[in-house]
Amino acid sequence: MSSSVFRESVTACDECDLVHQIPPLKRGERFVCGRCGHILLNYREHVEKRILGAGFSSLLMFAFALAFPFLGFSSNGAERSVTLFQVVSVLIAQDYLVLSILISLALFVFPVAYLATVIFLVWSFRHRHISLSTKRYLSHWVIVIQPWLMVDVFLVGVLVALVKMNSMADIQLGLSFWAFCAYVLLLLKTVTLIDRRWLWNSIAGRAPGHHIGEQLETANKQGLIGCHSCGATLLSSAHHCSRCGHSVYSRRPRSLATTIAFLIAAVIMFVPANVFPIMHTTFLGGTEPSTIMGGVFLLWSLGSYPVALVIFFASVVIPLTKILSLIWLCWQCYYPTERETLQKMRLYRITEVVGRWSMIDIFVVAVLTGLVQMGNLIAILPGPAVLSFAAVVILTMLAAMAFDPRLLWDKDERRVISSLSEEKE
């Protein structure tokens, strides 16, 4: 019978449910799960000052990006320039309201809300008069918004759009373009500085301690539940986290059923997204529709091989591979093969990381629509496949979020835990 030791700071891995004691960490160190390799805690040096510096600088660059022309082009003596706001306003004027809402959320609402909330939370660390309920609510929103930050994807979409336009017009990069590049880099820096467990420790104090056995075991086996929001461990009888107030569960309720439902919807939307035109181009009075693969072939014929490959992988390979990968992972939860669970986890992590990059084609169409509006001389409008393809991207991202990777480990738990215990001895 293994002895028990009181641990003041324990946490359960979000991806495999193994319970760990968090050792004292020095600034700049990180703690990694010994079972699946998932990073549990990053303790960075001077993190509060760095977050405030990167966050304020990012907002400042965003303000500059809105104040000046973003892109311009000239063709046959006609010239046009647009700001970032005009990219959205043109879509609204052309009655593409849903697409304009998606672009506004990805480009303006989510990034600014994220930065403002993070800055406020870090500022509140030294101002205790801010209520805990307010900080809890804002912290939940920071975690929810973070996967939907796509300004880096938008920037790549702008570059692809410029390559597409280079053959038919002269392109000018405005002052806002360079400010936007700085804004993207600073926003990404801010995101990398935010660690979820560090954030909750700073807001609501250390997680409650528990008696855990010396033998490496999952939270489920020790009568505990790991909070998926703040990383605290609670008794299995708990329904809400005592630290962050979030609902807790040993395994995500109806995870596989929800994932499969999202995947079925994504497969259905994938068909019209690739059959119908994603863009209509008017040039000297003639209108030509273009599908996703049609755009890839056009870029390839023009000699833009790298850009053609980027569009092909982002718009065809990644969505299809992600759908097939998640279907296979769901199958593994019912009928696991002999393949190592760690390999399945790597596949799951890849699907999470690359999924949002499929939005490149949506952003390309939005940028070209906002920029290229010169009547019958030259004009570009979104096609019916735009919303279908956007639905595919969103549905596959939701499917990956709904999937609970801990289900993969449940089938292989006994063998992995025993091997880890032998290594520890």
Of 423, 39, 68, 53, nearest to 197 (Cα)?
39
Res 397: pLDDT: 93
Residue 380 included in any domain: yes
Residue 259 included in any domain: yes
- In DSSP terms, which residues pair with 214 in a beta bridge? none
Can you read off the two tokens belonging to residue 403? 């999937």
Neighbours of 186 (CB within 10 A): 21
Torsions phi, psi for 2 (to 5 deg):
-75, 145
Res 391: pLDDT: 93
The widest CA-to-CA distance across the chain, in whole angstroms, is 85
For residue range 229-267, what is the model confidence (pLDDT) as tens digits? Answer: 888 888 888 888 888 888 888 888 899 999 999 999 999
Half-sphere exposure of 185 (CA within 13 A, CB side): 7
Of 131, 184, 103, nearest to 359 (Cα)?
103
Specify the CATH number for the domain of residue 308. 1.20.140
Res 242: pLDDT: 82
Cβ neighbors of 134 (< 8 A, separation 6 or more) are none
Please, are residues 311 and 160 in contact by the beta-carbon 8 Å criterion? yes
* Structural domain total, the chain: 1
SS3 labels along 103-154: HHHHHHHHHHHHHHHHHHHHHHCCCCCCCHHHHHHHHHHHHHHHHHCCHHHH
Residue 258 included in any domain: yes
307: left (phi over 0), alpha (psi -120 to 50) or beta: alpha
| Residue numbers of the chain with a pLDDT score lower than 70 | 1-8, 75-78, 167-169, 208-215, 283-287, 338, 374-377, 412-425
Residue 374 included in any domain: yes
Residue 407 included in any domain: yes
Res 7: pLDDT: 39
For residue range 323-373, what is the model confidence (pLDDT) as tens digits? Answer: 999 999 999 888 877 678 888 888 999 888 888 888 888 888 888 888 777
Res 2: pLDDT: 36
Amino acid type, 118: V
Q: Distances in Å between the alpha carbon of 13 and those of 53, 220, 295, 382? A: 31, 11, 43, 43
Res 376: pLDDT: 61
- In DSSP terms, which residues pair with 248 in a beta bridge? none
Res 4: pLDDT: 39
Element (H, E) at 420: helix 413-424
Q: Which pTM value belongs to this model?
A: 0.86
Please, are residues 417 and 216 in contact by the beta-carbon 8 Å criterion? yes
Please, are residues 88 and 104 in contact by the beta-carbon 8 Å criterion? yes
Instruction: Tell the burial category of 262 from Cβ atoms under 10 Å away from its Cβ (0-12, 13-18, 19+).
Output: buried
**What DSSP state is assigned to residue 30?**
E
Q: Which domain holds residue 326?
A: 252-425
Please, are residues 140 and 229 in contact by the beta-carbon 8 Å criterion? yes
Residue 136 included in any domain: no
Of 246, 276, 238, nearest to 388 (Cα)?
276
